[in-house]
């Protein structure tokens, strides 16, 4: 008998099978818009300080990607901190450079970690997350609602939707159960990640206000009055 569960399972299979094309189209459109609207940020590519800073941040990103915490509630929940570096780079240099940084570091993480498998769509999804952070943070007042919405969008559109579409081709178990577990995992981690992101950005802005001479001038950053 054909049930609602069968309908959902078949819908998920079709969506996960062809969803990569939709994600790729969305990322291409967003990237084109960001290149047009944030063209001035691309000048950083020829800046020596930018190259040095990105190398340092890439090393930090790689280290943080290798460090993770397993939450005892479920063995499937691993918590990484490298998303903080991705958000900061997008805040400093804009969505285009931030997206490129995230995508390149996804490849670097694959090269230096034998435990991680790689597909081209993971590269695109990382680019997607950097673009989202940059669109919310670059040259804008960093207030709480921007931090909340940026993390909400990356969690929903990248972690839950895009990454699930990408990884579904390697899953042998029941697709509905697997997708439900991934969704529950990201919902569980969302308040933790948004708290860490908010605390990190707030701390950085406070430091730059008190000790401007001791902090690299990464890029244009405006701090909001409300946190």
In eight-state DSSP terms, residue 215 is S
pLDDT in tens, 39-62: 888 888 777 888 888 889 888 888
CB–CB of 151/129 below 8 Å?
Answer: no
pLDDT in tens, 30-43: 999 999 998 888 88
pLDDT at 1: 46
Residue 223 reports pLDDT greater than 50: no
Look-up of token digits 């062809």 = 18
Give me the CATH topology for the region 9-214.
Arp2/3 complex 21 kDa subunit ARPC3 (1.10.1760)
CB–CB of 189/195 below 8 Å?
Answer: no
Residue 3 reports pLDDT greater than 60: yes
3-state secondary structure 129-145: HHHHHHHHHCCCECCHH
| 214, burial (CB in 10 Å: exposed 0-12, middle 13-18, buried 19+) | exposed
pLDDT in tens, 140-156: 888 899 999 999 999 99
What contacts 3, CB < 8 A, 6 or more positions away?
Answer: none
Q: Please, what's the b/e burial string for 140-161 (b: 16 or more CB within 10 A of its CB; e: otherwise)?
A: eebeeebbeebbebbbebbbbb
Residue 77 reports pLDDT greater than 90: no
Closest Cα partner for 98 from 17, 28, 42, 170?
A: 42
Angle at 225 between CA 224 and CA 227, to 5 degrees: 85
Predicted TM-score (pTM) of the model is 0.83
What values do phi and psi take at 69, rounded to 5? -115, 135
Mean pLDDT of all residues belonging to the chain: 79
Closest Cα partner for 157 from 118, 181, 196, 127?
A: 127
């Amino acid at each position: 008998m054909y049930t609602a569960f069968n309908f959902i399972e078949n819908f998920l299979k079709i969506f996960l099978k062809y969803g990569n094309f939709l994600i790729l189209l969305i990322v291409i459109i967003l990237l084109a818009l960001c290149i047009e609207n944030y063209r001035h940020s691309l000048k950083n590519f020829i800046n020596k300080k930018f190259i040095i800073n990105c190398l340092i941040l890439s090393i930090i990103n790689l280290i943080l990607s290798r460090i993770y915490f397993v939450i005892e509630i479920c063995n499937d929940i691993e918590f990484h901190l490298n998303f903080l570096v991705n958000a900061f780079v997008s805040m400093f240099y804009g969505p285009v450079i931030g997206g490129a940084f995230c995508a390149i570091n996804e490849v670097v993480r694959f090269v230096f970690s034998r435990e991680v498998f790689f597909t081209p769509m993971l590269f695109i999804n990382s680019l997607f997350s950097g673009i989202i952070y940059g669109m919310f943070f670059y040259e804008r007042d960093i207030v709480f609602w921007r931090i909340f919405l940026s993390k909400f969008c990356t969690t929903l559109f990248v972690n839950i939707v895009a990454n699930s579409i990408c990884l579904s081709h390697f899953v042998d178990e029941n697709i509905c159960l697997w997708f439900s577990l991934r969704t529950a995992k990201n919902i569980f981690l969302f308040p933790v990640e948004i708290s860490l992101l908010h605390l990190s950005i707030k701390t950085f802005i406070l430091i730059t206000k008190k000790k401007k001479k001791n902090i690299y001038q990464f890029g244009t950053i405006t701090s909001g009055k409300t946190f």
